[in-house]
Amino acid sequence: MWGVSQSHLNEQIKKITGKTVGTLIREAQFSEAKRLLVNTELNVTEIAENMRFQDTAYFCRAFKRQVGMSPSQYRAKCRENKVSQ
């Protein structure tokens, strides 16, 4: 069986996308979190649990670092934009 080392895979993905595998995974993870915030009535704790975060506070910090605003702010902004459209 042919295998690819983790570091080789990461190097190749970075050459193609300009991003590491970890960055791509985080982007996908928070894209899903954003979808849940906009399209469901789940609260932030439920979304954090759904995204496999054991600590809601850590989820909120990571979300803010990735997106630029807290999950609650993101939900409110998206809902405000939907109403004004």
- How far is residue 45's CA from residue 77's CA, in Å, rounded to a whole number? 19
Return all residues near 52 (Cβ < 8 A) that are at least 6 apart: none
**pLDDT score recorded for residue 85:** 47
> What's this model's pTM, rounded to 2 decimal places?
0.82
85 residues of the chain, pLDDT tens digit each: 578 898 999 999 999 999 999 999 999 999 999 999 999 999 999 999 999 999 999 999 999 999 999 999 999 999 888 765 4
Chain mean position to CA 11: 22
Q: For the packed helices 21-39 and 71-84, what is the interaxial angle rounded to 10 degrees?
A: 50
